[in-house]
Structure 1
Amino acid sequence: MTRAFALAVAPNGARRTHTDHRALPMTPAELGACAKACLDAGAAMIHLHVRKADGTHSLEVADYMAGIDAVQRAVGRELVLQVTTEAVGIYTPAQQIATVRALHPEAISVALREVSPDAAHAPAAAAFFAWLWQENIVTQYILYDTEDVAHYWRLRASGAIREGRHWVLFVLGRYSKGQLSSPSDLLPFLSAWETGAQALGTPATATQWAMCAFGPREAECALAAVLLGGHARIGFENNLYLPDGSVSPDNAASLGALTVAATPLALAPMTADALRELTR
């Protein structure tokens, strides 16, 4: 019996440019073309970063609208379009929140450590999380380490993050030496995830989780995640290489490195609508 998993593409990130890889999408037109290619390669979701005219990271509403329009013209609703709120040391929590409120997108990602870094920011973050839930904006909470996982469960226990309408992303290798990941890096996250769920008295499987991994072992980490019941995010934001060590020609090829390995194991990428149902 085939089991479906969610495959997301993170095609560009906030920092890399054409200098790093010519096929890294930066302009709205490039994002649209990339989205279509990745849809054809099995993606159910695109994790969208947009850029200013000079190529630098942007959370500006006008820049986002141009990128969103290009992707929607290319794929319609066949991909979940997830807006990132990543600060990159440029934007404040208030600015991150304001962008999301202005865009009112289908889905967002948000790092807990960015919008709720301390007690002073907690009330605004809690109000934001409540608004996201009320507005049916599917949120993916980004967790960089086991302390972030514990933080998530504290927010669940306090009611700041309600059950449903969200999932989480474990980030492997962001703060490791050389930003390198291995499949075993997933184990501490899963242990902390189970511990938090048990403390709250809820099944660990009630909320979906995915992972992304920095470095050339990205596909291995992704396959491990899927085999363990999770989902995967792949793309040039985190890694430019294929499992054999060669430079990936494009994001679609990077997705293919996972799907080719997953298919003989009766694992298949789900559709965008299936992902919507899973995270609603």
Structure 2
Amino acid sequence: MRPDVAEYQVMVAPNGARRQKSDHPALPMTAPELAQVARACQQLGVSGFHLHVRDGSGRHSLDAGRYREAMSAVAEAAPGLAIQITTESAGIYTPQEQLSCLAELRPTAASVSVREMAQDPQEAARAYALCDEAGTQVQHILYSPKCIAQLQAWYDSGLVPTQMRDAIFVLGKYVPPVAAAPDDLLPFLKVAESMQLNWSLCAFGRQEQACLLAAIQAGGNTRIGFENNIETPQGDLLADNAASVAGLIKAASVAGHELRKG
């Protein structure tokens, strides 16, 4: 492989915790809709599925039963696709409730917010110990360089097992709305330079694709989908999550990068 060619993987985040059908009619809310997105995106080469579930009112949920229903539907529709649940609070759940979700599901993979867990270090310690015992692949959600510093402190203290090196950098945010830009990645890379993280990137706003291309060039993986952005780089509505994924893969190919599947 040429030294200027980067290999990368894609995870799709098809709905998130906040957007509704009123934001985009193709936003998946139910288990069958999530399964349909999983199948379409797997066919494009996506290797991971970042799963949020909703309650009967469309509200973000950490309900284990709803997770099991959705995980089963996705696994049936897209065999072999890696499924990652989230324990994101979205301003609703406490660290204790996030731990309860992990304890009940004992999932293969989960994303866990360092900033949210830092609200209760004792519960954080229990959550990471549980994941270590259960073999859950933890992806640390890092919203800022401050979160990276907190994660390093937890490695140093032993609160987080040193082998848990998966992380996702988050550029931009929902509330208040802040759109990401590619240069926003640089402070994350500087602070995390010596940590040997297996990192991915997600980015809010219509520069999502440009941010993800910068991540690929820097040696990271990518997470894309309607959780973070529903617009093309030109500001038009994307047709669906598959269109978002296809656009990134095409742009990365034009830039000379190679998609790594599975």
Distance of 1:135 and 1:154 partners within structure 2 = 23
What's 2:171 paired with?
Answer: 172
What's 2:250 paired with?
Answer: 260
What's 1:4 paired with?
Answer: 7
Pair 264,76 (structure 1): closer, same or farther in 2 beyond 3 Å = same
**Deviation for aligned residue 1:158:** 1.0
Q: Does 1:243 align with 2:233?
A: yes
Distance of 1:75 and 1:99 partners within structure 2 = 24
1:15-39: CA deviation from partner (whole Å, max 9, x where unpaired)? 1111111111000000000001111
Q: Does 1:227 align with 2:229?
A: no
What's 1:34 paired with?
Answer: 37
**Secondary structure of 1:40's aligned partner:** helix
Check conservation: 1:44, 1:269, Cα contact below 8 A. Answer: no
Distance of 1:223 and 1:115 partners within structure 2 = 30
What's 2:27 paired with?
Answer: 24
What's 1:162 paired with?
Answer: 161
Q: Does 1:132 align with 2:134?
A: no
**Secondary structure of 1:83's aligned partner:** strand
**Secondary structure of 1:178's aligned partner:** coil
Distance of 2:198 and 2:83 partners within structure 1 = 18
Q: Which amino acid aligns with 2:25?
A: R
What's 1:201 paired with?
Answer: none
TM normalised by structure 1 equals 0.88
What's 1:269 paired with?
Answer: 259
What's 2:198 paired with?
Answer: 208
What does 1:57-96 align with in structure 2 at a 5 Å threshold?
57-77=60-80, 79-96=81-98
**Deviation for aligned residue 1:270:** 2.0
The number of residues matched between the two structures is: 259
1:110-154: CA deviation from partner (whole Å, max 9, x where unpaired)? 10111222xxx2122112212212322101000111111110111
Distance of 1:71 and 1:222 partners within structure 2 = 25
1:223-249: CA deviation from partner (whole Å, max 9, x where unpaired)? 000100001111101100112322100
| More displaced stretch, 91-100 vs 221-230 | 91-100
What's 1:56 paired with?
Answer: 59
More helix by share: 1
**Secondary structure of 1:225's aligned partner:** helix
**Deviation for aligned residue 1:164:** 2.2
Distance of 1:17 and 1:268 partners within structure 2 = 33
TM normalised by structure 2 equals 0.94
**Deviation for aligned residue 1:176:** 8.3
Q: Does 1:114 align with 2:116?
A: yes
**Secondary structure of 1:232's aligned partner:** strand
Distance of 2:177 and 2:59 partners within structure 1 = 23
**Secondary structure of 2:211's aligned partner:** helix
How much is the aligned-residue C-alpha RMSD, in angstroms? 1.5
1:78-106: CA deviation from partner (whole Å, max 9, x where unpaired)? x1100000111211111111111111111
Distance of 1:252 and 1:23 partners within structure 2 = 10
Distance of 2:165 and 2:106 partners within structure 1 = 15
Distance of 2:153 and 2:102 partners within structure 1 = 24
Q: Which amino acid aligns with 2:93?
A: Y
Distance of 1:207 and 1:146 partners within structure 2 = 13
